[in-house]
Chain A
Amino acid sequence: MQNNCAIQMCSITKRFGQVVANDGINLEIRRGEILSLLGENGSGKTTLMNMLAGIYQPDEGEILADGKPIAIRSPKDAYSYGIGMIHQHYKLVDVFTAAQNIVLGLNDEKLDLKTINSKVKRICDRYSFAIAPERKIYDMSVSQKQTVEIVKVLYRGADILILDEPTAVLTPQETEKLFVVLRAMKEDGKAVVIITHKLNEVMELSDEVAVLRKGKYIGRVRTSETNPQQLTDMMVGHSVVLNIDRPEYSDPFPRLTVEDLTCVDHEGVTKLDHVSFTAMGGEILGVAGIAGSGQKELLESITGLYPVKEGSVRFFEENGCETELIGKTPMQIRRTGVGMAFVPEDRLGMGLVGSMGMTGNMMLRSWRSGKGLFLNKKSPEHLAKKVWNDLEVVTPSTSFPVRRMSGGNVQKVLVGREIASRPRILMTAYPVRGLDINTSYTIYNLLTEQKMGGVAVVFVGEDLDVMLELCDRILVLCGGKVSGIVDARNATKEQIGLMMTSVGQRRASDDE
């Protein structure tokens, strides 16, 4: 067993300011084995692996390669020890071809396209990758880009592969393909580490699981000897129920009707293509799709932030009066009193002002209130205190810049403010991205609470397991088109996965 050991990390500690990202972690990476590094967001998985990839240096502790201490000061050093990392956000040059990206930064050999191409081809054949080396990156799909990243790492002779959340942007089918490749690499005697927080993937793929929690090493188990419940307990520290409560609202009613909504971006690319659906009051409507299928444009065009080419978005009052929202600015929409709340994906870049405290951020909704030139700071201050207490936001004061808060607290401030506006439509984009399980559940509960209060909730999400449990219906987007709307109570992940990649002819169990 000892000779299998490729990398040993010994009591590694890494601090960022006062935050201890990794606290005395010991980890062994073995050849011929797939290791899952499991942990919630913010538990220090990526930080730990970045130290192997040469992005960070540990503050304390040492790294041994084949029993000898090594220093990894740069990604180049990492490659010289055979370590290659595929980051969550791909590091590719868009206007270069696959082959150019693969050899980018290598200066110790002559750039001879023929040898490069044949070498690339050899790697591709071995793992049956289908990429054309002459293809430009901007022409590729997300999963193709990932393949290029993998080939890039293999080309540099890496035999220790680290993949950071490799399945986050893939469809279930693409994920399956990736797993086949990873298993083939394992058979080749390579060491594979995948960073993830998805339990089912851990169970399916890996031989062993190492769990981190809040920067600490919790333990390591063989996958065959464990189960999701045990892993969750290790990850969270105490048992949590995995079920999300989904009460039914007695009488859902049409609240917002979107018809033939079409958007074109400034480069002329169609982002939304005749999207039609109805959001019901008293219902959570999920919006699923591969990243970049038009989710952002959909929410932003409804809120008046994205230019619309054609189509209509109508809001219905209880008494049947309707209001057309297209053509109105965000301020005009607010003035119509339809009560639209929006939790955008880019929290600090769109939903909040990073440099201001909670009070300044509460003001984003109310800064116009009051007559005259001066700001009314009293009621936002009051609201900030209320959100602070109600949602248990961790912050030293209401004037502490939100940029310095942790991701979960930032989101609580944003969601707290939007809910406090007593909306009738609540639109959320990836509201639990980057949050720990407890905060995620807080958010799920808040959304369900809103739904039970008759609010039409739109939930753009990425975790299909969660969406299937939380939402009432799920609208699936594919390339800016609606490929169908399914009933979340009896749809399956595979069904949605298929719809994410191809626009269906008919809408499975469409709304009445």
Chain B
Amino acid sequence: MTNEARTPWVRLAKRDAMDPRKAWAIRLGSILIALLLGMIPVFITGNNPIAAYGTIIKGALGRPIYIKQTVKIAIPLLGCALAIAPCFKMRFWNIGAEGQITAGAIAASYFALYWYQKVPSTLLLLIMFVSAAVAGGIWGLIPAFFKAKWNTNETLFTLMMNYIIIGIVAWLQGGPWEGRKGSQIIPMFDQSARLPEVFGVHIGWIIVLVMVVLMHIYMNFTKHGYEIAVIGDSENTARYAGMNVGRIMMRTMFLSGAISGIVGFIVVSGANHTLYRGVANGVGFTSITVAWLSQLNSFAMIVISMILAILTKGASKLQTELKVPMSISSIVTGILLFCMLSSEFFINYQLIFRQKKSEEVCR
């Protein structure tokens, strides 16, 4: 009886460094577990879970046209995940990508709507690209400036900035940029302000893939990337090393906002061909999931954003074919996030269960 009381049933211990391959195996395993758990809600709605997953896969990748649509969903997710990666590496919690996308989209839309007759298409797209980057960058710079100057809380600040810019779009929609009076809709862009397509998908996919490589280089081989990593580890160390923490924060947030702005440009010019208040469509938030799940690794982001895109695209098929609500994909995404984050716990800690041991007699 006393023996049972001796040690708790289970306790935690910190692990030593784990073999990275084993760690990735655990992460992969957690995705499988998440997919298994995701079957439960499907089952509750009265459907065969395996058939449902089959439908998701078929609906997302079954036909070339489906694949193209899936890729279109993945493009902004990937681009935006790239944008917030340096902030998160720096432990600057930028959750305002949504607003930065919108800011970029507004700037791009301005030139698309009012300059399409003045300049040739290529130049117009270039102007849209640059202006979107600058607008997004400035929108990201503002909270960083206040953080650097007065140490404001960046999480709240970036979040609130989202609502401001979305309000601005609503105003543009109903006011200065409104197409037909009373429609509350901004007119469609002229053909010359739309992104050309390669392999049936607008060239946004090439832009983000190039950015994947550039971001990888930036984070791992440049002085800027080094500064960001040091600040993320310890601001005091950064100051000790002579870094100007505030300036680096502002610079990094400008860059992050600029990339988000470019994503905004890709969305309005490549996919929507117009601007409306839901232009960012939650991408700024979902991409946080993407960045986090891929451990801020640029290349892993390609895979994760594709997985999320497949779930989203497949779920719409699920709805039309099996009458399973589309929100099932959000549920599965949620479970996925939960499982992958908890896998980090098992990578860092181990559970030790009480074991029966031979009686040790003292002396």
Chain A residues at the B interface, C-beta cutoff of 8 Å: 8, 10-11, 15-18, 26, 57, 59-62, 64, 68-69, 71, 73, 303, 305, 329-331, 334, 342, 344, 346, 348-356, 360, 363-365, 367-368, 373-375, 401, 404
0/1 per residue, B1-22, Cβ < 8 Å to A? 0100111100101111100000
Q: Is the CB of B239 within 8 A of A305?
A: yes
Interface string of B210-244 (1 = CB under 8 A from A): 00000000000111111101100110110111111
B360 to A11, Cβ gap below 8 A?
Answer: yes
Q: A64-B362, A330-B242, A367-B227 are in contact. Are A71 and B5 (CB under 8 A)?
A: yes
- New contact pairs (13) apart from A303-B240, A305-B239, A360-B229, CB-CB < 8 Å: A17-B14, A60-B360, A62-B6, A71-B7, A329-B242, A349-B234, A350-B237, A353-B233, A364-B230, A367-B223, A367-B227, A368-B223, A404-B17
A69-B2, A374-B221, A375-B222 given; A364·B241 CB < 8 A: yes
Which residues on the A side are within 8 Å of B357 (C-beta)? 60
Given contacts A330-B242, A374-B222, A375-B221, contact A73 B233 (CB under 8 A): no
Measured in the bound complex, the distance between the Cα atoms of B283 and A338 in whole Å is 51
Most chain A CB inside 10 Å of its own CB: which residue of B5, B6, B224:
B6
B180 within 8 A of A: no
Closest Cβ of chain A to B94, distance in Å, is 20
A-B contact list, 23 entries, CB within 8 Å: A8-B362, A16-B13, A17-B16, A62-B360, A64-B362, A69-B2, A305-B239, A305-B240, A330-B241, A331-B244, A342-B240, A353-B233, A355-B229, A356-B230, A356-B233, A360-B226, A360-B229, A364-B240, A364-B241, A368-B242, A373-B222, A375-B221, A375-B222
A211 CA / B349 CA spacing, docked (Å): 31
**For B362, what are the chain A residues with a Cβ–Cβ distance below 8 Å?**
8, 10-11, 26, 62, 64
Q: Say whether B356 faces chain A, with CB atoms less than 8 Å apart.
A: no
Contact B221 A350 (CB under 8 A): no
Find A57's partner among B7, B221, B233, B243 (CB 8 Å cutoff).
B7
Chain B residues 1 to 59 lying within 8 A of chain A, measured CB to CB, are 2, 5-8, 11, 13-17
Asked whether, in the complex, the Cβ of A353 is within 8 Å of the Cβ of B230, the reply is yes
Inter-chain contact A354/B233, CB cutoff 8 Å: yes
B327 CB, min distance to chain A CBs, angstroms: 38
Cβ of B224: which chain A residues have Cβ within 8 Å of it?
373
Interface residues on B, range: 35 or more
**Of B229, B234, B360, which is in contact with the most chain A CB atoms at under 10 Å from its CB?**
B234
Whether, in the assembled complex, B181 has its beta carbon less than 8 Å from a beta carbon of chain A, the answer is: no
**Contact of B234 with A356 in the complex, beta carbons under 8 Å:** no
A344 touches B234 (CB 8 A): no
**Contact: A363 with B226, CB < 8 Å?**
yes
Do A352 and B237 contact each other (CB < 8 Å), given the known contacts A330-B242, A331-B244? yes
CA distance A26 to B362 in the complex (A): 9
Q: How far is the CA of A330 from the CA of B237 in the complex (A)?
A: 12
Report which of B15, B221, B226 forms a contact with A17, defined as CB distance below 8 A: B15
B200, chain A: closest CB distance, angstroms: 36
Q: Closest Cβ of chain A: how far from B29's Cβ, in Å?
A: 22
Among residues 221 to 280 in chain B, which have CB atoms less than 8 Å away from a CB atom of chain A?
221-227, 229-230, 233-234, 236-237, 239-244
Report the Cα distance A74→B8, complex, angstroms. Answer: 11
Query: CB-CB < 8 A to B227: which residues of A?
Result: 367
Q: Please measure, in the bound complex, the distance between the C-alpha atom of A355 and the C-alpha atom of B233, giving whole angstroms.
A: 7
User: Across chains A and B, which 3 residue pairs bring their CB atoms closest together, nearest first?
Assistant: A331-B242, A10-B362, A17-B16
Report whether A365 and B16 are in contact in the complex, using a CB–CB cutoff of 8 Å: no
B63 within 8 A of A: no
- Contacts of B239 on A, CB cut-off 8 Å? 305, 330
Q: Which residues of A are found within 8 Å of B230, using beta-carbon distances?
A: 353, 356, 364
B13 x A350 contact (CB < 8 A): no
Are A69 and B6 neighbours in the complex by a CB distance under 8 Å? yes
**Which residues of B sit under 8 angstroms from A18, Cβ to Cβ?**
16
A148 to B337, CA, bound (A): 46
CA distance A363 to B227 in the complex (A): 10
- Chain B residue nearest to A333 (CB atoms) is B242
Known A62-B6, A353-B233: A57·B11 in contact at CB below 8 Å = yes
* A354: chain B residues within 8 A (beta carbon): 233-234
- C-alpha gap A360/B237 in the complex (Å): 12
A386 to chain B, nearest CB (A): 20
Q: Does any Cβ of A come within 8 Å of B363's Cβ?
A: yes
Known: A62-B360, A64-B362, A375-B226. A353 touches B237 (CB 8 A): yes
Given the complex of chains A and B, what is the CA–CA distance between A260 and B363 in angstroms? 65
**CA–CA, A54 and B233, complex, Å:** 32
Nearest Cβ distance between residue B20 and chain A, in whole angstroms?
Answer: 12
Shortest distance between the CB of B305 and any CB in chain A (Å): 25
Query: Nearest chain A CB to B288's CB is how many angstroms away?
Result: 21
B residues within 8 A CB of A348? 234
Least CB distance, A58 to chain B, in whole angstroms: 8
Could you tell me the distance between the alpha carbons of A352 and B230 in the complex, rounded to whole angstroms? Answer: 9
Residues of B154-206 whose CB lies within 8 A of A: none
CA distance A245 to B360 in the complex (A): 49
Best-surrounded residue of A348, A352, A353, A401 (most CB of chain B within 10 A):
A353
List of A residues within 8 angstroms of B221 by Cβ: 374-375
Scoring B11, B15, B233, B241 by chain A CB atoms within 10 A of each residue's CB, the highest score goes to: B241
Contact with B240, one of A26, A57, A351, A368 (Cβ below 8 angstroms): A351
Q: Which residues from chain B contact A303 at a C-beta distance below 8 Å?
A: 240
Question: For the complex, what is the distance from the CA of A356 to the CA of B360, rounded to whole Å?
Answer: 43
A62-B6, A71-B6 in contact; A10/B360 too (CB < 8 A)? yes
Establish whether residues A350 and B2, one from each chain, have CB atoms under 8 Å apart when the complex forms. no
Give the distance in Å from the alpha carbon of A71 to the alpha carbon of B237 in the complex: 43
Chain B nearest CB from A52 CB (Å) reads: 15
Bound-complex Cα distance A201 to B230 (A): 42
Tell me the minimal C-beta distance from A314 to chain B in angstroms. 20
Query: Which of B5, B223, B240, B363 gathers most chain A CB within 10 Å?
Result: B240
Q: How far is the CA of A375 from the CA of B13 in the complex (A)?
A: 38
Please name all residues of chain B whose beta carbon is closer than 8 Å to the beta carbon of A373 when the two chains form the complex: 222-224
Chain B residue nearest in CB terms to A335: B242
Q: Would B233 and A334 count as touching, CB distance under 8 A?
A: no
Point out the residues of chain B lying under 8 angstroms from A69, CB to CB: 2, 6
Most A C-beta atoms less than 10 A away, residue of B7, B13, B233, B360:
B233
Within 8 A of A (CB), among B337-363: 352, 357, 360, 362-363
Using A71-B5, A368-B223 as known contacts, say yes or no to A344 and B240 having CB atoms under 8 A apart: yes
With A and B bound together, what is the CA distance between A351 and B242 in angstroms?
11
Which residues of chain A have C-beta atoms less than 8 A from B222's C-beta? 373-375
Contact call B6/A61, Cβ cutoff below 8 A: no
Question: Which residues in A have their C-beta under 8 angstroms from that of B240?
Answer: 303, 305, 330, 342, 344, 350-351, 364
Q: Which residues of B contact A374 (CB under 8 A)?
A: 221-223
Chain B residues whose C-beta falls within 8 Å of the C-beta of A68 in the assembled complex:
2
Q: Across the interface, name the chain B residue whose C-beta is closest to A59.
A: B352
Chain A hits for B16, CB < 8 A: 17-18, 404
Which one of B2, B15, B230, B237 has the highest number of Cβ atoms from chain A below 10 Å of its Cβ? B237
Asked if residues B242 and A73 are in contact (CB atoms below 8 Å), the reply is no
Choice from B2, B14, B229 contacting A353 with Cβ under 8 Å: B229
Do the beta carbons of A350 and B234 come within 8 Å of each other? yes
Question: Which B residues touch A61, using CB under 8 A?
Answer: 360
Question: Which A-chain residue is minimally distant from B11 (CB atoms)?
Answer: A57
Residues of A within 8 A of B237 (CB): 349-353, 364
Closest Cβ neighbor of B232 among chain A residues: A355
**Residue from B5, B221, B236, B363 whose CB has the most chain A CB atoms within 10 Å:** B236
Contact present for A367 and B11 (CB under 8 Å): no
Residue of B nearest to A19 (CB): B16
Contact (Cβ within 8 A) B8 A57 = yes
